[in-house]
Amino acid sequence: MDNGIIATVAALSALNGFLAWLLVLAEKWLADYGECTIRINGERSVRVRGGLSLLSALAGEKIFLPSACGGRGTCAFCKCKVTEGAGPLLPTELPMLNKKERAGHVRLSCQVKVKRDLSVEIPESLFRIREYQAEVGLIRDLTHDTKLIRLTLVDPSEILFKPGQYIQLESKPYEKIRQKVMRAYSVASPSSETKSLDLIIRLVPDGICTTWVHRHLKQGERVRFIGPMGDFCLHEGEGEIILVAGGSGMAPMVSLLAEIREKQIRRKVTYFFGALAKRDLFYLDEMHTFEKDIQDFRFVPALSSPAPDDVWNGETGLITTPLRSYLEKENRAAAQGYLCGSPGMIQACIKVMNACGISEDRIFFDPFS
C-alpha cells in the first residue's frame, strides 16, 4: 500500500524532526548563560560571556590569574576567592583546597563556570600583569643546550618589572604539536632596559616549549607573553649578598646584578655558579664586567665534572663545596642568600646556608621550581 508507506515514513520523519528541533531549542536555551557580571574587589565590574571558566573569562578581560596546567585542575595555581555566585564546590576542586580555603570561599578559577553574576577578590599585584606582543630580536647560543633570546617589545612597547621577576612565554604549534603552552622564564636583562628583555632558555628533554624555542623560533618572529610576575627580588639589608645559581638560573641573577650596579649598592656580593664542565659556562665576559663595575663583587664558577681536556684552575666539585668553604670562614648571620636553579641544587644549598648561620627567612628563591 503505497499511501500507507508514504504516510508512515512522513509521520515518523516528522516525529524525529520534531524531537531533534526540540533538542536544538533546548540546547540554545539551556546552554546559553547570557552575559554575566563579575564584580572585582568590590570596585570594578566586568561583563563576560557566560559558560566559560572563571579563569578564561578573566583572561578575556586581560586579568591574568596564574596557571601552570592550562586549566586542567591539576596545579592549583589559579586559586581565587569567590564570595558570591560560584555555586557548589565541584568534585574536581575538593582535593586541591584545604579546610581553611573552603571556609574562606577560595575556589579553583579554572573549574568554576560563570553561569550567573559573581563577586571575586583578586590581589592588586595581579592587575599589573599584562599581555605583550614582541619580536625576536636576537637568538644566540650560550652553551650546547642553552640559548639567549632577546625580545624587542612591540605592543605595548615598554615593560616595567622588578629584577628577579619572570614572564610566561606562549609557544606556537609545531611538528606534531597542535597546542600552545605557556612556560615561565626569568627576565635576564636590567630593569632599566624597558624596550626589550632577555631570556635564557635551556633545552628540557621532551619539553614542549623549549624544543620550540631551540628548533623552530626564528629571528624576527612575533611572540606573545604575559607578565611580569613573581616575588623573587632583592631585599633590603646591610649584610652581604650570596647568589647561587647554575644553568638558566643565571637569568634573574644578571638582572639583580644590573640593579646592584645601577643603584650602586655597597653590599658585598658573591655569585657561586655551578656547572658540569667548561662547555657549560657562559656570560664570563659579562661577569668580568660586573666585577669591575660593582664595588665588591666576585664571580665563583665551580665545575663538578670537568672534561678531561678542560684546562681549569678554578673551583671544582659540587657547588655546595666552594659555597660551604666560603661561608664557614666567618659569621654569616647578617647575610642574605638568593638561589635560582634546579630544586635539588636549591635544597642542597639551603642546607649549607642554614648550617653556616643564615636563617630560613634570609634565604630567597624562585618559587616555581
Partner 1 sequence: MKGLSPGILFFASIFTGNILLTYFLGMCSFLAVSGKIRTAAGLGLAVTFVMAITSALNWAVYTYILVPLGVAYLTTIVFIVVIAAVVQLLEMIVERYSEGLYLNLGIFLPLITVNCAILGAALFMVIRKYTFIQSVAFGTGSGIGWLLAIVALAGIRERINEEKIPPALRGPGIALIISGIMAMAFIGFSGMVQIQ
Partner 2 sequence: MKRTPDEQKIHGNFLPGAVTRDGFLGSDSRHIHDIVLEDSRTMERLGLSAGEIADRLQFFLDEGKKGLEAPVVSGAFTVHVEWHKGSLPCPFGETGLHPKIMARLCSNQTGRCIRFSQMNIHLIRRHGFFEGIGSPLRLDPEELAAFLELRK
Considering the rule CB under 8 A, would residue 126 count as an interface residue with partner 2?
no
Q: Which three cell numbers stand for residue 251?
A: 637569568
Considering the rule CB under 8 A, would residue 13 count as an interface residue with partner 1?
no
Q: How far apart are CA 237 and CA 338, in angstroms?
A: 13
Q: How far apart are CA 54 and CA 67, in angstroms?
A: 12
The single residue among 13, 17, 27, 47 that binds partner 1, judged by CB under 8 A, is 27
Considering the rule CB under 8 A, would residue 22 count as an interface residue with partner 1?
yes
Considering the rule CB under 8 A, would residue 181 count as an interface residue with partner 2?
yes
Least distance (Å) between residue 175 CB and partner 2: 8
Considering the rule CB under 8 A, would residue 90 count as an interface residue with partner 2?
no
Residue that the C-alpha cell 666552594 belongs to: 322
Q: Which stretch binds partner 2 (CB under 8 A): 49-57, 98-106, 222-230, 318-326?
A: 318-326
Q: How far apart are CA 256 and CA 164, in angstroms?
A: 6
Taking alpha carbons only, the member of 167, 65, 70 closest to residue 107 is 65
Q: Which stretch binds partner 2 (CB under 8 A): 44-52, 154-162, 174-182, 288-296?
A: 174-182
Spatial neighbors of 196 by CB under 8 A, at least 6 apart, are 134, 137, 150, 151, 152, 153, 189
Considering the rule CB under 8 A, would residue 58 count as an interface residue with partner 2?
no
Considering the rule CB under 8 A, would residue 336 count as an interface residue with partner 2?
no
Considering the rule CB under 8 A, would residue 89 count as an interface residue with partner 2?
no
Q: Which is nearer to partner 2, 85 or 341 (CB)?
A: 341
Considering the rule CB under 8 A, would residue 245 count as an interface residue with partner 2?
no
Least distance (Å) between residue 23 CB and partner 1: 5
Q: Which is nearer to partner 2, 206 or 285 (CB)?
A: 206
Least distance (Å) between residue 246 CB and partner 2: 7
Q: How far apart are CA 20 and CA 23, in angstroms?
A: 5
Spatial neighbors of 71 by CB under 8 A, at least 6 apart, are 53, 55, 56, 78, 110
Considering the rule CB under 8 A, would residue 15 count as an interface residue with partner 1?
yes
Spatial neighbors of 180 by CB under 8 A, at least 6 apart, are 170, 171, 172, 173
Least distance (Å) between residue 211 CB and partner 2: 5
Considering the rule CB under 8 A, would residue 49 count as an interface residue with partner 1?
no
Number of alpha carbons in the 13 Å side-chain half-sphere of residue 284: 10
Q: Give whole-number Cα distances, 94 to 88, 89, 167, 183, in Å.
A: 11, 7, 29, 26
Q: How far apart are CA 92 and CA 18, in angstroms?
A: 37
Q: Which does 27 bind (CB under 5 to 8 A by kind): partner 2, partner 1, none?
A: partner 1
Taking alpha carbons only, the member of 162, 143, 138 closest to residue 301 is 143
Least distance (Å) between residue 263 CB and partner 2: 28
How many residues make contact with partner 2 (CB under 8 A)?
A: 42
Q: Which three cell numbers stand for residue 100?
A: 581553611
Q: How far apart are CA 105 and CA 344, in angstroms?
A: 35
Output b/e per residue, 339-363; b: 16+ Cβ within 10 A. Answer: bbbeeebbebbbebbeebebeeebb
Considering the rule CB under 8 A, would residue 34 count as an interface residue with partner 1?
no
Considering the rule CB under 8 A, would residue 155 count as an interface residue with partner 2?
no
The single residue among 76, 90, 204, 265 that binds partner 1, judged by CB under 8 A, is 90
Q: Which string of x and - marks every residue 104-123 that binds partner 1 (by CB under 8 A)?
A: ---------x-x--------
Q: Give whole-number Cα distances, 17 to 4, 5, 363, in Å.
A: 20, 18, 69
Least distance (Å) between residue 5 CB and partner 1: 10
Least distance (Å) between residue 250 CB and partner 2: 13
Q: Which stretch binds partner 1 (CB under 8 A): 90-98, 172-180, 302-310, 346-354?
A: 90-98
Positions in the binding site for partner 1 (CB under 8 A): 4, 7-8, 11-12, 15-16, 19-20, 22-23, 26-27, 30-31, 87-92, 113, 115
